[in-house]
Amino acid sequence: MKIIFIGKNYAEHNREMHSEAEKQPVFFLKADSCLHKGHNPFFIPDFSDEVHYEVEIVLRIGKLGRSIQGKFAPRYYDAISVGIDFTARDLQHECKIKGLPWEISKSFDQSAWVGKWIDPAQLKTHENLNFWLKKNDKTVQSGYTHDMIFSPDNIIAFVSQFMTLKTGDLIFTGTPQGVGPVNTNDFITAGIGNETLLHCEIK
């Protein structure tokens, strides 16, 4: 199972990262060992002094597909939720400066959290979904799916040209503005619309 992450998919987030827009989607992978399971807290790894939350809409692939046309993409995901792409921002910054791959900043254990799954049909994904992340009950990220530079259909079409999508693969579709650090004893919740789908205690 692979976990695919889209970068630079919201103009305001690109601005906060001082990052240029891209003409095509940018993606990277996390290992399946990154996926948080069970009810344990998120433990800040000791190799980083600056771990950030990034809330993202997550799609779960429901059937095998390769070179999928955008118009057929909705048939290839069967569940949607919010997730957190935990990022060791200090290590990522060093990797970017050196032009190195950035797995050490992204693909560490427990760095991919996914909330409770929702049936996409229930959510009417063609509508403009509001998704959000609260830190200690304060909203720090609030995004709208209409602000994605590359839509889920575009993303699935693009990624599946390069790699076969398999049942159970996950796609994190990028984070809106408002990313920031987590600290011990923070409590994070995230959701879509009025529904809270994810709880995360930071230790």
- Smallest distance, Mg ion to C-beta of residue 12, A: 14
First-to-final CA distance of the chain: 27
Sign of CA dihedral 150, 154, 159, 165: positive
HSE value, Cβ hemisphere, 13 Å, CA-based, for 69:
2
User: Judged by CB under 5 A, does residue 175 bind Mg ion?
Assistant: yes
Question: Nearer Cβ to Mg ion, position 76 or 86?
Answer: 86
Does residue 108 belong to the site contacting Mg ion (CB under 5 A)?
no
107 belongs to the binding site for Mg ion (CB under 5 A): no
- Cβ proximity to Mg ion: between 15 and 66 the closer is 15
Give the per-residue contact string, 24-63, with Mg ion (x = CB under 5 A; - = no). Answer: ------------------------------x---------
What's the min distance (Å) between Cβ of 67 and Mg ion? Answer: 25
Q: Which is nearer to Mg ion, 54 or 153 (CB)?
A: 54
**Window of 12-20, 27-35, 78-86, 178-186 that interacts with Mg ion by CB under 5 A:** 78-86
Options 102-110, 150-158, 167-175, 178-186: segment touching Mg ion (CB under 5 A): 167-175
Question: Which of 82, 85, 143, 157: binder of Mg ion (CB under 5 A)?
Answer: 85
Find all residues with CB under 8 Å of 159, minimum gap 6, and list them: 4, 25, 27, 165, 171
DSSP for 96-157 reads: HHHT---HHHHSSTT-EEE---B-HHHHTTTS--EEEEEETTEEEEEEEGGGBSS-HHHHHH
Q: How many CA atoms lie within 13 A of 146 on its CB side?
A: 6
Instruction: Name the closest residue to Mg ion (Cβ).
Output: 85
Number of residues that bind Mg ion (CB under 5 A): 3
**CB contact at 8 A, 172 and 6:** yes
Can you give the binding site for Mg ion, defined by CB under 5 A? 54, 85, 175
